[in-house]
Amino acid sequence: MRMRRFRQADWDEPLIFELGWEGRAGFSVPAVEPEVRDEVGEVEELIPINILREEPPRLPEVSEVEVLRHYIHLSQMNYGVNSSGIYPLGSCTMKYNPVINEVLASNPALTEIHPDQDEATIQGILELLYRLKIWLQELTGMEDGSLEPAAGAQGEFLGNLIMRAYHADRGELERRREVIIPDSAHGTNPASAAMAGFKVVEVPSGEDGCVDLEALKSVVGEGTAGLMLTNPNTLGIFESRISEIAEIVHRAGGLMYYDGANLNALMGRCRPGDMGFDIVHLNLHKTFSTPHGGGGPGSGPVLVKAFLSDYLPVPVVVYRDGLYRLSYDRPKTVGKVHGYYGNISPILKAYAYILSMGGEGLREASEIAVLNSNYLAQRLKDVRGLSLPYAPGVPRKHEFVLSASKMAEETGVRALHIAKRLLDYGIHAPTIYFPLIVPEALMIEPTETEPLEALDRLVEAFEEISSLAYSKPEEVQSSPRNTTVGRLDDVKASHPRTMCLSYRMLRKTR
Ligand SMILES: *Cc1c(COP(=O)(O)O)cnc(C)c1O
pLDDT along the chain (510 residues), means of 10: 38 59 84 78 76 83 91 86 91 92 94 94 96 98 98 98 98 98 97 98 96 98 98 97 98 98 96 98 96 83 98 96 95 96 95 96 97 98 98 96 98 98 95 96 97 97 98 96 83 74 60
pLDDT of residue 503: 64
Ligand 1 atom nearest the C-alpha of 151 is 7
Spatial distance between the Cα atoms of 293 and 282, rounded to a whole number of angstroms: 17
Which helix (DSSP H) or strand (DSSP E) does residue 458 occupy? helix 452-471
Instruction: Concatenate the DSSP letters of all residues of 292-344 into one string.
Output: -TTS------EEE-GGGGGGS-S-EEEEETTEEEEE---TT----SSSTTS-H
Instruction: Find the 261 Cα to ligand 1 centroid distance in Å.
Output: 6
Instruction: Find the 152 Cα to ligand 1 centroid distance in Å.
Output: 5
> In the sheet that 224-230 helps form, which strands lie side by side, from edge to edge?
144-146, 302-304, 279-281, 255-259, 224-230, 178-182, 199-203
User: For 444-473, what is each residue's pLDDT tens digit?
Assistant: 999 999 999 999 999 999 999 999 999 999
pLDDT of residue 28: 83
Instruction: Concatenate the DSSP letters of all residues of 54-68 into one string.
Output: SS--------HHHHH
Contact 362, 140 (CB under 8 A): no
Contact 473, 411 (CB under 8 A): yes
CATH superfamily of 366-494: Aspartate Aminotransferase, domain 1 (3.90.1150.10)
- Which residue's alpha carbon is nearest to atom 3 within ligand 1? 152
Give phi and psi for 110, each to the nearest 5: -105, -35
User: For 125-149, what is each residue's pLDDT tens digit?
Assistant: 999 999 999 999 999 999 999 999 9
CATH class, 100-357 region = alpha beta
pLDDT of residue 15: 47
Percent of the chain at pLDDT > 90 equals 76
pLDDT of residue 171: 98
Contact 309, 144 (CB under 8 A): yes
Among 246, 305, 258, residue whose Cα is nearest residue 282: 258
Instruction: Find the 153 Cα to ligand 1 centroid distance in Å.
Output: 6
pTM score, whole prediction: 0.87
Domain borders along the chain are 4-77, 100-357, 366-494
- Which residue's alpha carbon is nearest to atom 15 within ligand 1? 91
Ligand 1 binding pocket, CB closer than 6 Å: 91-92, 151-153, 186, 188, 230, 234, 259, 261, 283, 298, 300
pLDDT of residue 6: 37
pLDDT of residue 510: 45
